[in-house]
Structure 1
Amino acid sequence: MTERENPFVWFDFGGVLSPPLAELFSTYETKTGITPAALQAAMQAVGDDLGAHPLAPIELAQITEREWGSRLREHLAAADPDLDLSRARLETFGEQWFDGIVVNSAMASALRGLKAYGHRVGVLSNNVVEWEPYWRAIIEPAGPLDALVDSCLVGARKPDEQIFAIAEKVAGVDASQCILIDDLAQNVDAARRRGWQAIHFRSNGQAASELSRLTGIPAVL
């Protein structure tokens, strides 16, 4: 089988190559004292102010991290005036959010295994311009990527169809030659509507097993 015949495998970052999102929110609470519920409500409020999905403005680089963090601070303070925000570096959110976070070693191993068997791999992520140095450092153990499609760089975000079309062009393959591994059902559903194969990541073992079935290579964890 040639490289062009092998499917191109796209990994999500948050929740697949990183620890689960619930764990990230819990870790942030330990760092700052802000509960996941309070932080998520503030994110929703920022999105509502801008008439968008909670994270769309920053993941599409429509506002800066500093402006977004400042808006978060205002909403958190308004929702709970007694909340101590002194430990939260909201205006430089990414640096604190990712501090101490390590790669999901099982998925990093799966990515390296795919490369060893001649598959091309990439990251297809909704992410933030200012956060790239931090998440890039986290996934470094996974090894080199063949492609990166990042919402903040291409002006489209999952689950919008446009970002999948962009990824196909970047990889130089048809939709049917793409596999997405993502922890969010709406992104998986959108990829499948586009004609991709997709794995809804729920655990390392489950995702590795499905990946092995789709690619024909042994599950590597």
Structure 2
Amino acid sequence: MAQPSMIWFDFGGVLSPPLERIYEAYEVKTGITPSQLKAAIKGVADELSMPTMAPVEIGALTEPEWGTRLARVLAAQNPGIDLSRARLRTFGEQWFDGVVANPVMVRAYLHLQENGFRTGVLSNNVVEWGPYWKAIIAPVGEVDVLIDSSDVGCRKPDAEIFEIAAKAAGVAPADCLLIDDVEENLVAARAQGWQTVLFRDDEQTLADLRSVTGLAGLSGLL
């Protein structure tokens, strides 16, 4: 397969720390356990017959609307739960508080740029969360192309978002490579002709990127 010219990084779980760590940090802030929060998020999506997180990632609900539903579902699923420390109507501000970028993936991003590859961010995200997550990835500097699901009205793994991204970058699908921690997203990207790397950990991802790009220097970024 030809070497890609456009390398896309997912935000959550790739440029950010692993999502499980963020869930655990949120429990410290609020007392809501990861299992409780995940079940409630799914409950809100189920009410709308949508995939998990889709209601806010494509803007079907505003953050305050979603947070209000989340509080109701949490209370229904967990009678007596204490939500006093949770700011659910402004969820993103509290969720991202204290979160910093994955330094190894930041170095990989910059190394690719420095060696002639175009780089982009392809993220399922939320309109109101923009100031917080974009501040987290500020260490990567200027992003050549940023595709946010809440801006374009569709999300990974929808085929349309990959078409939008390639068109925005001005490249053919075969020139794109996506780094993502969700296999479902990578399957969808490959179906659109993209190349992919599954993020499992930093070391493996750097090795896979080195194999695809031929950049030996990636191995020294750990």
Check whether TM > 0.5: yes
Greater CA deviation, 104-113 or 74-83?
74-83
Q: Which amino acid aligns with 1:183?
A: D
Q: How far apart are 1:155 and its partner, in Å?
A: 0.9
> Is the Cα–Cα contact under 8 Å of residues 127 and 151 in structure 1 kept in the other structure?
yes
1:136 aligns with 2:134: yes
Equivalent residue number for residue 50 of structure 2: 52
Return the alpha-carbon distance in structure 1 between the equivalents of residues 128 and 141 of structure 2.
22
1:189 aligns with 2:187: yes
Q: Which amino acid aligns with 1:43?
A: I
Structure 1: where are the runs of 5+ without partners? none
Identify the match of residue 106 of structure 1 among 104, 107, 111: 104
Equivalent residue number for residue 158 of structure 1: 156
Percent identity between matched residues is 54
Equivalent residue number for residue 62 of structure 1: 60
Return the alpha-carbon distance in structure 2 between the equivalents of residues 125 and 72 of structure 1.
22
SS in 1 for 2:92: helix
Q: Which amino acid aligns with 2:86?
A: A
Q: How far apart are 1:6 and its partner, in Å?
A: 5.3
Q: Which amino acid aligns with 1:96?
A: Q
Return the alpha-carbon distance in structure 1 between the equivalents of residues 52 and 9 of structure 2.
22
Equivalent residue number for residue 88 of structure 2: 90
SS in 2 for 1:207: helix
Equivalent residue number for residue 207 of structure 2: 209
Equivalent residue number for residue 79 of structure 1: 77
Q: How far apart are 1:83 and its partner, in Å?
A: 0.8
Cα RMSD of the aligned pairs, angstroms, is 1.0
Q: Which amino acid aligns with 2:52?
A: P
Return the alpha-carbon distance in structure 2 between the equivalents of residues 164 and 58 of structure 1.
19
Equivalent residue number for residue 171 of structure 1: 169
Q: How far apart are 1:169 and its partner, in Å?
A: 0.1
Identify the match of residue 36 of structure 1 among 22, 34, 37: 34
> Is the Cα–Cα contact under 8 Å of residues 44 and 54 in structure 1 kept in the other structure?
yes
SS in 2 for 1:122: strand
Q: Which amino acid aligns with 2:191?
A: R
User: Deviation string for 1:61-91 (max 9, x for gaps)?
Assistant: 1110000000000011111221110000000
> Is the Cα–Cα contact under 8 Å of residues 6 and 118 in structure 1 kept in the other structure?
no
4+ runs deviating over 4 angstroms: none
Q: Which amino acid aligns with 1:184?
A: V
SS in 1 for 2:215: coil
SS in 1 for 2:137: helix
Aligned length: 217
> Is the Cα–Cα contact under 8 Å of residues 41 and 53 in structure 2 kept in the other structure?
yes
Q: How far apart are 1:194 and its partner, in Å?
A: 1.1
Return the alpha-carbon distance in structure 2 between the equivalents of residues 31 and 199 of structure 1.
33
Q: Which amino acid aligns with 2:159?
A: E
> Is the Cα–Cα contact under 8 Å of residues 69 and 93 in structure 1 kept in the other structure?
yes
Return the alpha-carbon distance in structure 2 between the equivalents of residues 158 and 45 of structure 1.
20
Q: Which amino acid aligns with 2:180?
A: D
